[in-house]
């Protein structure tokens, strides 16, 4: 008999109930255990996910929220010539140095007034080299643009120039020494000028100036090269004693007028802007004085004479007449300012009578006083009304040499 057979129906029912109960209890335990396991597993997974979530996203969040390295703006380190500078060489380069190298296509500073020239960039420095610089007394402004349309750095870690700026300076004056150097080189003065070729270009002034470089000539007009002057041989002390190196003198005035005459300029003997413009161009082209250098000395010691030198050589020495006491010929040195081949000179004699005398080969040097030809029975004493009278043939010979700007000195006792 089976085990079930031995047991009654009630027992079987009870046993079955208990089994079911036990089975249900086991099932509940499994469910509880499973539930416990499931909760534990979910918690562990959640912790793992949370841990992963806490590590990766937080790292990413930290990267996003960390402040970026600050971008340093581009700045201007220096400008040369500096702001407020005066007496600046108007032909010299202009440099602007920045705190970082510039981008290849960066906008560059601008100049006012505008002049011809070009900007070149080397690293952090922009340099403007003029084709022909500024004239004396010019107020120059260097504008440095900023922002998106302004100066840009080459590095992306450097920002654009933040604020625009302007630097102003004023050019100086041309040098009297350079005026004399050029006039001597071109043959308008009776001197030789020798540059000190041993001087380095970094010293005060340059050692030499390129003839063909017009801007170099302009630069030297502000900052003359070193050198020495020496008189050409043959000229008298009456001329050489009037020379002043670096200072205006009568030799300069005569040379300026001679140059103005050759170039068709107004002969005022003043080295103004127009004069300098022509002079520097002539220096760049080495255009020499076509007339050579002439000097005339009228001596009122008896017997009165006129001696004429040309390029250091005496070309005429002749008797002359100068002014009577009522109309004397004043002592002094004067440049020839007017020339005529023939003229009827009109005026009044000391007694009040009028005169109208034909004269020839005339070179005016002091007001109404002139060297000219006029027929007299004799020469060598006071006979004229202020002029220096020569025999007409002698006057004709010397007249071509007495060009505009030629100095005429009158010396000796005035009648």
* DSSP code for 196: -
Q: How far apart are CA 211 and CA 87, in angstroms?
A: 24
The Cα–Cα gap between 227 and 181 comes to 9
Q: Which two tokens stand for residue 291?
A: 């007339």
Greater model confidence, 342 or 28: 342
pLDDT of residue 66: 53
pLDDT digits (tens, 9 = 90+) for 225-272: 999 999 999 999 999 999 999 999 999 999 999 999 999 999 999 999
What SS3 state is found at 279?
helix
The Cα–Cα gap between 240 and 304 comes to 22
How crowded is residue 316: how many other Cβ atoms within 10 Å of its Cβ?
Answer: 17
**Predicted TM-score of the model (pTM):** 0.79
Within 10 Å of residue 346's Cβ, how many Cβ atoms?
A: 9
Q: What is the CA radius of gyration of the chain?
A: 50
Q: Which CATH class is domain 294-411?
A: mainly beta
pLDDT tens-digit series, residues 73-115: 999 999 999 999 999 999 999 999 999 999 999 999 999 999 9
Percentage of the chain beyond pLDDT 90 is: 77
Q: How confident is the model at residue 72 (pLDDT cuts 50, 70, 90)?
A: confident
- What value does the mean pLDDT of the chain take? 86
| 144, pLDDT greater than 80 | yes
Report CA 63 to chain centroid distance, whole Å.
Answer: 54
Domain ranges (residues) in the chain: 3-50, 72-170, 176-285, 294-411
SS3 assignment, position 136: coil
Higher pLDDT, 11 or 307: 307
CATH number of this structure's domain 72-170: 2.60.40.3710
**Residue 270: predicted pLDDT:** 97
pLDDT, tens digit (0-9, with 9 covering 90-100), for 285-301: 999 999 999 999 999 99
Angle separating helix axes 273-285 and 250-262, nearest 10 degrees:
70
- Give the mean pLDDT of 169-178: 98
């Amino acid at each position: 008999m089976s085990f079930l057979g031995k047991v009654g129906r009630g027992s079987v029912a009870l046993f079955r109930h208990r089994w079911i109960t036990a089975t249900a209890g086991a099932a509940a335990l499994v469910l509880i255990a499973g539930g416990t396991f499931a909760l534990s597993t979910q918690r562990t997974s959640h912790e793992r996910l949370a841990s992963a979530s806490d590590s990766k996203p937080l790292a990413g969040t930290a990267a996003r929220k960390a402040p970026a390295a600050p971008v340093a703006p581009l700045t201007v380190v220096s400008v040369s010539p500096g702001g407020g500078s005066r007496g600046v060489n108007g032909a010299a380069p202009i440099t602007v140095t920045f705190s970082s190298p510039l981008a290849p296509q960066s906008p560059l500073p601008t100049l006012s007034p505008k002049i011809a020239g070009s900007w070149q960039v080397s690293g952090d420095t922009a340099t403007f080299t003029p084709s022909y610089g500024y004239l004396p007394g010019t107020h120059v402004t260097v504008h440095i643009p900023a922002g998106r349309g302004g100066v840009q750095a080459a590095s992306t870690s450097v920002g654009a120039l933040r604020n625009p700026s302007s630097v102003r300076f004023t050019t100086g004056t041309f040098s009297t020494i350079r005026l004399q150097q050029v006039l001597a080189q071109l043959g308008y003065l009776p001197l030789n000028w020798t540059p000190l070729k041993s001087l380095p270009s970094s010293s005060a002034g340059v050692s030499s100036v390129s003839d063909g470089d017009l801007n170099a000539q302009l630069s030297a007009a502000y900052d003359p090269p070193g050198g020495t002057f020496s008189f050409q041989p043959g000229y008298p002390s009456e001329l050489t004693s009037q020379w002043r190196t670096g200072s205006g003198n009568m030799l300069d005035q005569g040379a300026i007028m001679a140059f103005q005459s050759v170039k068709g300029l107004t002969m005022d003997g003043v080295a103004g802007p127009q004069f300098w413009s022509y002079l520097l161009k002539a220096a760049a082209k080495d255009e020499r004085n076509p007339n050579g250098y002439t000097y005339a000395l009228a001596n009122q010691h008896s017997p009165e004479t006129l001696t004429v030198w040309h390029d250091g050589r005496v070309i005429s020495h002749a008797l002359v007449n100068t002014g009577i006491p009522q109309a004397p010929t004043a002592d002094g040195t004067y440049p020839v300012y007017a020339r005529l081949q023939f003229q009827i000179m009109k005026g009044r004699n000391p007694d009040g009578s009028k005169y109208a005398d034909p004269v020839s080969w005339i070179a005016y040097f002091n007001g109404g006083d002139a060297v000219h030809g006029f027929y007299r029975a004799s020469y060598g004493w006071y006979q004229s009304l202020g002029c220096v009278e020569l025999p007409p043939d002698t006057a004709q010979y010397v007249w071509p040499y007495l060009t505009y700007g030629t100095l005429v000195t009158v010396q000796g006792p005035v009648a």
